[in-house]
């Protein structure tokens, strides 16, 4: 028997990601289409605690599909990690008879949703919204595609000046624990080398690779550094390399939060719409404590427990090999 869900709230939590607004739009309109009263929570879990919960109608999400960021805003909330915070949030939902909660975000968001559901029996559904692409159960997370395109566009511009001045650029991209952005952007931009958290590339190996390129008269070089690499950030690595290899003038660029912003790609707009649509329908089927994700070309569910504990994304072996083969 299907649960008698009448009211659903949606929130975005943790780091913002392009495509979140497309997802919010799909959640709200899918719920309304099915006769559900929809609510938006401002500032993520902090909004649950602060009772910043507002009704939404179909017009509340007009003209947002192309916007980056999140119209619901987002925040990191330490109070939600406490028992008192969870209790306050539940009372605020209970006062509005909200039966289901859809949480869009990454592993921190899912951890909060899991604790909330276990303590108070709230029906929750997770949507993977993070540019890092580091959640188990979805081949692509929301915002990942746009972030890569943003990085590539920046690298293309940097290469113009690198070629003009015979320079070596170290470009740091996001990815504390995951090298997904770094690996794909390296292939797509034709970078000479890439440093990933998952691989222990030494400075010696990097210098040897750069020397090989210089010996074949490369006019410039681009090295992509994932922020979580064991040898340090782009500035640290550039300094170590410069001490041993000064063939080029060396520069460093940190792309930082630039990667999170901007209008979402068509892929992320469609993915956000599919995930939002699926999340509401899964709640209406009676499912809870699950995450909807893209696997192949299908939207499938994974338990939030699996999404958190398996927490792995295997970097494609062919792409890893191509970073060496295509950079000669």
What pLDDT digit, counting tens, does each position of 251-269 carry?
999 999 999 999 999 999 9
Give me the pLDDT at residue 230, please.
Answer: 87
Count of CA atoms in the C-beta half-sphere (13 A) of 121: 1
- The CB density around residue 169, as the number of other CB atoms within 10 Å, is 25
Mean pLDDT score, 127-142: 95
Q: For residue range 100-120, what is the model confidence (pLDDT) as tens digits?
A: 999 999 999 999 999 999 999
184 is annotated as contributing to ligand binding: no
Active site residues: 132
Mean model confidence pLDDT for the chain: 94
192 is annotated as contributing to ligand binding: yes
Give ranges for CATH 3.40.50.450 in the chain: 7-143+264-309
Please give the Cα distance from 5 to 36 (Å, whole number). 7
Q: For residue range 272-310, what is the model confidence (pLDDT) as tens digits?
A: 999 999 999 999 999 999 999 999 999 999 999 999 998
165 is annotated as contributing to ligand binding: no
Give ranges for CATH 3.40.50.460 in the chain: 144-260
- The CB density around residue 276, as the number of other CB atoms within 10 Å, is 29
Please give the Cα distance from 219 to 168 (Å, whole number). 9
* Domain spanning 144-260: CATH 3.40.50.2000: no
Alpha helices, DSSP H, located in the chain:
20-33, 44-49, 83-95, 107-120, 144-165, 180-189, 203-215, 234-242, 266-285, 304-309, 317-325
Give me the pLDDT at residue 76, please.
Answer: 85
Give me the pLDDT at residue 192, please.
Answer: 92
Q: Which residue has the higher pLDDT, 200 or 271?
A: 271
159 is annotated as contributing to ligand binding: yes
DSSP string, 163-226: HHHTEEEEEEES-SS--HHHHHHHHHHT-SEEE-TTS---HHHHHHHHHHHHHTT-S-EEEEEE
Give me the pLDDT at residue 245, please.
Answer: 86
23 is annotated as contributing to ligand binding: no
CATH annotation of 7-143+264-309: 3.40.50.450
């Amino acid at each position: 028997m299907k649960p008698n869900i009448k009211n659903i709230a949606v929130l975005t939590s943790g780091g913002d990601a392009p495509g979140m607004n497309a997802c919010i739009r799909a959640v709200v309109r899918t719920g309304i289409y099915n006769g559900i009263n929809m609510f938006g929570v401002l500032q993520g879990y902090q909004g649950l605690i602060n009772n910043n919960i507002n009704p939404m109608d179909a017009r509340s999400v007009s003209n947002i599909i192309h916007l980056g960021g999140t119209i619901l805003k987002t925040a990191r909330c330490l109070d939600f990690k406490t028992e008192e915070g969870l209790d306050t949030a539940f009372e605020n939902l209970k006062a509005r008879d909200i039966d289901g909660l859809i949480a869009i975000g990454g592993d921190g968001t899912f951890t909060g949703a899991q604790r909330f559901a276990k303590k108070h029996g709230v029906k929750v559904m997770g949507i993977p919204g993070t540019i890092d692409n580091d959640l188990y159960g979805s081949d692509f997370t929301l915002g990942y595609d746009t972030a890569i395109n943003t990085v590539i566009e920046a690298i293309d511009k940097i290469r113009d000046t690198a070629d003009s001045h015979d320079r070596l650029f170290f470009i740091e991209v996001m990815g504390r624990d995951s090298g997904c952005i770094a690996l794909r952007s390296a292939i797509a931009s034709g970078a000479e080398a890439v440093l990933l958290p998952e691989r222990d590339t030494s400075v010696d190996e990097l210098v040897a690779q750069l020397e090989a390129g210089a010996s074949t008269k490369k006019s410039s070089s681009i090295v992509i550094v994932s922020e979580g690499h064991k040898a340090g950030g782009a500035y640290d690595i550039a300094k170590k390399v410069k001490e041993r290899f000064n063939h080029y003038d060396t520069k460093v660029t940190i792309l930082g939060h630039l990667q999170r912003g901007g209008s979402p790609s068509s892929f992320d707009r469609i993915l956000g719409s599919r995930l939002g649509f699926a999340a509401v329908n899964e709640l209406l089927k009676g499912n809870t404590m699950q995450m909807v994700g893209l696997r192949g070309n299908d939207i499938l569910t994974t338990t939030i427990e699996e999404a958190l504990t398996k927490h792995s994304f295997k970097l494609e072996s062919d792409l890893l090999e191509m970073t060496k083969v295509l950079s000669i």
